[in-house]
DNA sequence: GTCTATAAAAGGATAGAC
DNA sequence: GTCTATCCTTTTATAGAC
């Protein structure tokens, strides 16, 4: 797997001083391992040594591929956002069935909550640090823009077809993503929380609020 | 302000070895300052020295009142849960007006989201560490039991009076708290997120899903 | 590319003066 | 009770061998 744009960008940025070869499969490996750890604990609770160890490599190797710990963290966030994003993009195609698409979007959160909550967790950590990394901000922007576009388009389409009533697309979209974020957090905080059940309840609630009658 | 039960308990626990005076106003001060920092950053991102500095005291003082950093953290979590809990307890009295109580509960989250999101943030950190502290678990249990009791009772009462339709009290309760947790998280992650607006939208949707017509 | 060794700094925690 | 001084450990990061 090749480095993505932002990773390549950051390599270039710090390699102006050191000058080192480009294109690295091992960097992606390290990023994956680090993301796992950063999502489990927190940025400062994870040591460079533990990342190296988990990746089966010496910690010094990390500094070959990344400028410093923060640079690795940045790569992790972007990777988490990217992974989440890719799973959504498939749903964007299906504009014919608004309720089906929304439903699919909810299901995606159930199936991939392990991936998605990594993104939420790491995002919290990132936002808690006062650092502002332009490439990370761009990732987020892209993700949320896509999310809004898909959901709002579905609601508008549903209203246009007379399937939904009373719907403010933006409000519905925000409501839904806020709930889903809550579900991700709760699945971390409450051991007995069941994402599938909770999302199922939300779907019923949403249909009722939208005045939608599922055909069945 | 006197130490609360759990703080006193923990002091007793480690003082069996050291034997030191009880009842400390300064301990509460240190806890408050530390909670602020732990909520802003994360457990391991906050140093003992920085806590002392923020409290206008030497970091060594912390070890006079607390066994170690984790013990201080525990006191912070319990304090955060306790603060959130106290704001809820007032609402528990009002059983005559189900919709009003639910509404008040939502408003509480708007007004006190700065306090409540501290609890969410610190809880995430706590649950991410593998530590299990019995006194903290007890705090949580108390909080969630109270939350469930208030909300579920409201929904049941509303159904009994014919104000609400189709309502599964437990599902509504979980739905609502999950949404509110999501709102807390989003207010951290997204700078432009407005808790008041989001909760306002949720209220409308809840009423619609419950088949409730606000008198007005 | 990957490792060993190590410098340099920061953090948690304690002893003891006041 | 609160502070100074200090110890010990961990951690980030670099230099340089292979």
Q: What is the pLDDT, as a whole number, of residue B90?
A: 78
Is B181's CB within 8 Å of A185's CB?
A: yes
CB A118 within 8 A of CB A80: yes
Q: Which two tokens stand for residue B16?
A: 């069996």
Using the Cβ of B131 and the Cβ atoms of chain A, whether some distance falls under 8 Å is answered with no
CB A31 within 8 A of CB A76: yes
Domains delineated in chain A: 5-210 (1.10.357.10)
pLDDT at B131 over 70: yes
Cα B98 to Cα A113: distance, rounded to the nearest angstrom: 34
pLDDT at B11 over 60: no
- Chain A residues within 8 A of B177 when measuring between CB atoms: 182, 186
The percentage of chain A sitting over the pLDDT mark of 90, rounded to a whole number, equals 75
Confidence label for B93 from pLDDT (cuts 50, 70 and 90):
confident
What is the average per-residue pLDDT within A46-56? Answer: 98
- Chain B residues within 8 A of A144 when measuring between CB atoms: 190
Tens digit of pLDDT for each residue in A128-143?
A: 998 999 999 999 999 9
- State which of A16-25, A99-108, A178-187, B98-107 shows the largest mean pLDDT: A178-187
Q: What is the pLDDT, as a whole number, of residue B15?
A: 60
Which one of B185, B207, B210, B212 would you mutate to disrupt binding with A, by most A Cβ within 10 Å of its Cβ? B185
Q: What is the pLDDT, as a whole number, of residue B121?
A: 97
pLDDT at B69 over 70: yes
Tens digit of pLDDT for each residue in A198-211?
A: 999 999 999 999 99
- Chain B residues within 8 A of A168 when measuring between CB atoms: 201
- For A42, name the nearest residue in chain B, comparing CA atoms only: B42
Cα A147 to Cα B70: distance, rounded to the nearest angstrom: 39
Cα A36 to Cα A24: distance, rounded to the nearest angstrom: 19
Say which DSSP state B68 is in.
S
Confidence label for B24 from pLDDT (cuts 50, 70 and 90):
confident
Q: What is the pLDDT, as a whole number, of residue B49?
A: 98
Cα A115 to Cα A84: distance, rounded to the nearest angstrom: 7
Is B201's CB within 8 Å of A171's CB?
A: yes
Burial code (b: 16+ CB inside 10 Å, e: under 16) for B71-101 equals: bbbbbbbbbbbbbbbebbeebeeeeeebbeb
Q: What is the pLDDT, as a whole number, of residue B30?
A: 97
pLDDT at B111 over 90: yes
pLDDT at B4 over 70: no
Three-class SS state of B112: coil
Which residue, among B129, B88, B107, has the nearest Cα to B183 in the 3D structure?
B107
- Protein-to-nucleotide distance from the CA of B110 to the C1' of D3, whole angstroms: 42
Which residue, among B88, B190, B207, B107, has the nearest Cα to B148 in the 3D structure?
B88
Cα A129 to Cα B189: distance, rounded to the nearest angstrom: 11
What is the average per-residue pLDDT within B143-164? Answer: 92
Burial code (b: 16+ CB inside 10 Å, e: under 16) for B41-58 equals: bbbbbbebeebbeebebe
Confidence label for A216 from pLDDT (cuts 50, 70 and 90):
low
Q: What is the pLDDT, as a whole number, of residue A18?
A: 43
Q: How far is CA B77 from CA A120, B15, B40, B82, B137, in A?
A: 21, 21, 13, 8, 10
**Number of CB atoms found within 10 A of residue A138's CB:** 14
Cα A137 to Cα B191: distance, rounded to the nearest angstrom: 12
Q: What is the pLDDT, as a whole number, of residue A87?
A: 82
Confidence label for B86 from pLDDT (cuts 50, 70 and 90):
confident
Confidence label for B91 from pLDDT (cuts 50, 70 and 90):
confident
What is the average per-residue pLDDT within A178-187? Answer: 97
HSE, side-chain direction, 13 A CA sphere, residue B58: 4
What is the average per-residue pLDDT within A85-106? Answer: 85
Q: Which two tokens stand for residue B65?
A: 């009142």
pLDDT at A11 over 70: no
Q: Is the dihedral of CA A34, A38, A43, A49 positive or negative?
A: negative
Q: What is the pLDDT, as a whole number, of residue A166?
A: 74
Tens digit of pLDDT for each residue in A159-170?
A: 999 999 878 999
Q: What is the pLDDT, as a whole number, of residue B167?
A: 85
Which ranges in chain A belong to alpha helices (H)? 5-18, 25-40, 48-54, 62-65, 69-92, 98-111, 113-128, 134-160, 169-189, 195-210
């Amino acid at each position: 797997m090749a480095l993505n744009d932002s990773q390549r960008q950051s390599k270039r940025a710090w390699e102006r001083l050191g000058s080192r070869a480009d294109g690295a499969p091992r960097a992606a490996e390290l990023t994956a391992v680090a993301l796992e750890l950063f999502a489990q604990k927190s940025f400062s609770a994870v040591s460079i040594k533990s990342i190296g160890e988990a990746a089966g490599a010496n910690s010094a190797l990390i500094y070959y591929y990344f400028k410093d710990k923060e640079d690795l963290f940045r790569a992790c966030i972007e990777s988490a956002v990217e992974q989440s994003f890719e799973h959504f993009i498939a749903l964007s195609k299906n504009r014919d069935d608004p309720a089906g698409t929304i439903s699919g979007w909810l299901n995606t959160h159930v199936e991939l909550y392990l991936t998605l909550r990594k993104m939420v967790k790491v995002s919290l950590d990132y936002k808690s640090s006062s650092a502002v990394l332009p490439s990370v901000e761009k990732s987020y922007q892209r993700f949320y823009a896509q999310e809004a576009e898909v959901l709002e388009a579905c609601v508008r389409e549903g209203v246009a077809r007379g399937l939904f009533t009373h719907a403010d697309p933006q409000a519905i979209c925000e409501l839904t993503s806020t709930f889903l974020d809550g579900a991700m957090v709760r699945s971390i905080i409450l051991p007995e929380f069941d994402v599938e059940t909770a999302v199922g309840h939300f779907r019923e609630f949403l249909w009722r609020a939208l005045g939608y009658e599922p055909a069945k």
